[in-house]
Amino acid sequence: MVFIGVAGRDSEDAVQNFIVNRGLSSFTHIYDEELEIWRSFGIPDQPAWVLINGDGATQVIVSQLGVDGITEVVNALIDA
Record: fold of 4-79? Glutaredoxin (3.40.30)
Strand partners of residue 32? none
Instruction: Please compute Rg for the chain using Cα positions.
Output: 13
- In 3D space, the residue among 74, 20, 8 whose CA is nearest the CA of residue 46 turns out to be 8
Region 58-69: what's the mean pLDDT? 90
Confidence at residue 52, expressed as pLDDT on a 0 to 100 scale: 87
The mean pLDDT value for 55-59 works out to 84
Would you kindly state where each structural domain of the chain is located, as residue ranges?
Answer: 4-79
What does the pLDDT look like over 5-39, one tens digit per residue?
Answer: 999 889 999 999 999 999 999 999 999 999 999 99
For position 54, what pLDDT does the model report? 79
pTM above 0.85, yes or no: no
DSSP labels, 27-43: SEEEE-TT-HHHHHTT-
Average pLDDT score, the chain: 89
